[in-house]
Each structure stands twice: as structure tokens, then as C-alpha cells.
Structure 1
């Protein structure tokens, strides 16, 4: 692709509305050009397009300069995730640029790890890479979560899939995975719990991991990490078919669950 100045399109627009934060960023080859992270009221559908326009103008970016769009596909807020995905698909189709869907949990893990390590000296004692566990509250004792391995400054690598899990069960599963890693001689250095940790990262909740080096980092997603993940996908020649890109809900919405129960002969809960 070339822009009107006959140069390659290197810039990327990143969008993520899967959490309480509306994140928009413009990146270029691993550099952040501009970023807006609007937290607070979940009214992303009203604010997304004006914020996109602000980010493009602030970075001096036109559609002709964009080489692609990166979008967080969740998991997270059911309605929120759809907003960014729909906008990314529409803009990618209109501007004729590729679109790359990325895991919002992986972006959360990367950003949370960087935030947690900021200002700290690396503490390596011969143990293996760190583990990063992103947490987003899914109510009723559940979290959207996954497990990533961080062995450098780059994006954490996936070890366990994005899913909605009961936090109590997830902690027990992590304890079992740690035992397996210990037995294999690849125990992690530190476990980083990042994201919405106020409810799910307490000492009581993490008590089964009390003997393991772990830290909790309250962290809100920043759009840049969605952008950097999208850059990696596009640089590797990966992209999504614009009309087939869908959010990663990880569970049925309440409306879909009620519809399925109805179709199966069940009654809708009151």
C-alpha cells in the first residue's frame, strides 16, 4: 500500500471497547504516536467515533496513511466488545485496509506487566520466565482470564486460552500448573495478576498461591497494547476477513441463553 506521498502505509489505528476503558491509539512500527483512553461511564457507542477523529487529527494521520486497523475482540463486556469490532470492520472496509483482531486479555496482560515492572529492577533468581494472569470481572465470582508467559520485553506468549472461569477454580488450576512446571524444571519467577484485581486479587482469594512469588497490579487497558499486537499480526502477514471478524464472547449472552432454553423447551427465568 502507498499513500498520496508515495510512501508505504505504516501507521495503524487501534481500538478496544471490551472494558470500562475506551482505548484508541495510533501507532507506527512499535512507536506510540497518540493515544486516548477514556474511562468511566460505559457509553462507548457515543464516544468512539469522535475519539477516533481526535486521535487521527492529533497524530496528523489521514486514512491514506493507515496500513491497517487493530481491534480488541474481547473477551469482556458483551455489548462493549461489539462496538469496537463493528467500527473496525466498517472503517477497514471503507478505507480498504486490513483488519487484525487481537485478544483484549493479551493486551491487558502486556500493559499490566509493563506497568507492574515500571521502576523496578528485574528480579531474576535462575527461575523461569514470569507468568501473567489478566483479570476482568465477569460477576458471580467469575473472571475473564487467561495465562501468558513473559520471557522478555515483547508481548507475553499464550499458555492457557482466553475463557470465563470461576476465580476459585482458576486459582486451584494455576496451583496445579505450577506443580507441573516445578516438576518439569520450568517454574516461573513471579506470577503477575493484572487488571481488575480489587475483587479477585485479594490475599484471601489467592491463598492457595501463598507460597509462590506473586504480585497484583490494578490496571486499566491502554489502547497502545492493542495496536502493538495488531502490528505484530499484520507484520507476520496475518489479517482477518473483514466480514467474518466477530467478538470473542466466551459465553452466550443472556438473551441468547434464554432463546436457546426456549428452543429446547425450557422456560425463561423470571
Structure 2
């Protein structure tokens, strides 16, 4: 089976084509450009490089969020359009999990990080045991709360993603030597890994499939607005 995998959920654009769990080609662009302009062009370029036509694609895998609201929406819309027009299955995977691939060889737990602003993060907790296992579901919370949870687990933690840099001093202060981070070359998502992982997942209903934005609860949003008004 030939699978096209797409992630536009944050600044990096990650594409991959996998055939029977073997990587045919990958494309990663980590530049500040509008994914709405470059995503479809990049897909076409990758397929052309591999001498494939769109009708040879048999499955679509997409990073469904969380992440940039616009970025997530672009990727999901592109994936749904391709799946519907080509009449092929669609599978959604966590955008956070797509950052976690370096943790496959890590002896501990894996925490991908995306900056959600105001001291908050999108994050989740995973480990790899022949396949990815979700230990804590993806969520939006303050980094302070997340570090409290991780401190209680008393395990080594590998932090993944470029946004780890924003919080690294805070992480080290709370977790000390238990905190590890990926190298700069490992900070970007790798959708080839997700395409292979998704071979174990059930197909989505293309028409019902929606992004996973993981919004804050309305009470939290209102509280933050009130705090900003009082502090302003």
C-alpha cells in the first residue's frame, strides 16, 4: 500500500510517501511560509520526484492537531480533499506524536512540546514498546502544571520539538538531570514514522473527521482575559 502522510500543524511542513512500511521519500521544510501556498505544491513535487501520480496513493495520513489553528486546518482540509476526491481511506494522528519519533530508542517517557503562549503548552506523554503507547492524553495546560505531573512520575523524560527551547530553563529547574532533550536535527516532525505507525490504526469517516485543536475550557479563557485586563 502506498501512503501519503501530511503535517502542516506548525512551522515545519513534513510530507512522506511510504510503500508497505518502506519509506519512498520525505520532504521537510522548516521555514516561515504560508502552508496554504506551499503544501499542495510540495505534495505534487514529492510525488513527481518519486514518479508517482495521485491516483496511485492508496491512503492518506494527516497530523490532526493540536498546533497552529490555521496550520492544522490547512493540513486536515488538504487531506480530506485528497481522500474524498481519490476515494481512499484517511487516518488522523496526533501532531504531538509526530514530534516524538526520536523517543523510540529512549529509556524513559517522551513529552512532545508545542508552545501555546502565556506559559501554556500543548503536550502529551508517550512511551515506545514495539509501538507507541499513550500514557497521558494530549492536552493544553500550563508548563508549571505539566512539570508537577512529570515530577511525580520520577522517570527520565525526553522533551521533543523546537519549542522545548522556550521552556528549557524551567524544565531543568524542576526536573534536573531527569530532563533530556532532542538535538536540533531531531526537533522537526517526521511523517514517515507516522505513516508506518498509522498502518495499525482504523480509518476515519472522511466527512465526519475534524481537527483536534484542544482548546482551553471557556472558564480558563475568560479567567486569562480577566487577568490580562487587571494586569494591563
TM bin, normalised by shorter chain, reads 0.7 to 0.9
| Residue 226 of structure 1: how far off its partner (Å) | 2.8
Aligned length: 219
Q: Deviations over 1:182-227 (max 9, x none)?
A: xxxxxx4x3211112111223x433222253x31114111222232
Aligned to 1:244, which of 198, 208, 222?
208
Corresponding residue for 2:72? 81
Once residues 70 and 56 of structure 1 are traced to their aligned partners in structure 2, the CA distance between those partners, rounded to angstroms, is 15
Pairs within 5 Å for 1:116-135: 129-135=107-113
Closer/same/farther in 2, CA of residues 211 and 55 from structure 1, 3 Å limit: closer
Q: Distance in 2 between matches of 1:201 and 1:59?
A: 39
The corresponding residue for 2:62 is: 71
- Is 1:11 the counterpart of 2:13? The answer is no
1:103 deviation in Å? Answer: 0.6
- 1: CA distance, partners of 2:128 / 2:152: 19
Q: Does 1:206 align with 2:153?
A: no
CA contact (8 A) 1:13 1:27 kept: yes
Give ranges in structure 2 of 5+ residues lacking alignment: none
* Structure 1 residue 252, shift from structure 2 partner: 5.9
**Runs of 4+ that moved beyond 3 A:** none
**Counterpart secondary structure, 2:58:** strand
Equivalent residues in 2 for 1:41-80 (5 A)? Answer: 41-80=32-71
* Aligned residues: CA RMSD: 2.4
Q: Does residue 145 of structure 1 match 2:123?
A: yes
Q: Is the 8 A contact 1:23 1:223 kept in 2?
A: yes
In structure 2, the residue corresponding to 1:41 is in which secondary structure? Answer: coil
SS in 2 for 1:136: strand
The residue aligned with 1:4 is none
Distance in 2 of aligned mates of 1:68 and 1:138: 31
SS at match of 1:225: helix
CA distance in 2, matches of 1:232, 1:63: 23
Residue 13 of structure 1 deviates from its aligned partner by 0.4
CA contact (8 A) 1:37 1:223 kept: no
Aligned to 1:184: none
Task: Determine which of 11, 27, 44 is the counterpart of 2:18.
Answer: 27
Cα distance in 1 between the residues matched to 2:31 and 2:203: 31
Q: 2-side partners of 1:28 and 1:143: how far apart?
A: 34
Map of 2:138 onto structure 1:
162
CA distance in 2, matches of 1:170, 1:252: 15
* In 1: Cα distance, 2:166 partner to 2:197 partner: 28
Can you list the C-alpha shifts for 1:28-87, whole angstroms capped at 9, x where unaligned? 122111111111114000001110001111122223322200000010101100001001
**Which has the larger helix fraction?**
2
Q: Deviations over 1:233-266 (max 9, x none)?
A: 2xxxx1100011111100069xxx7xx98xxxx9
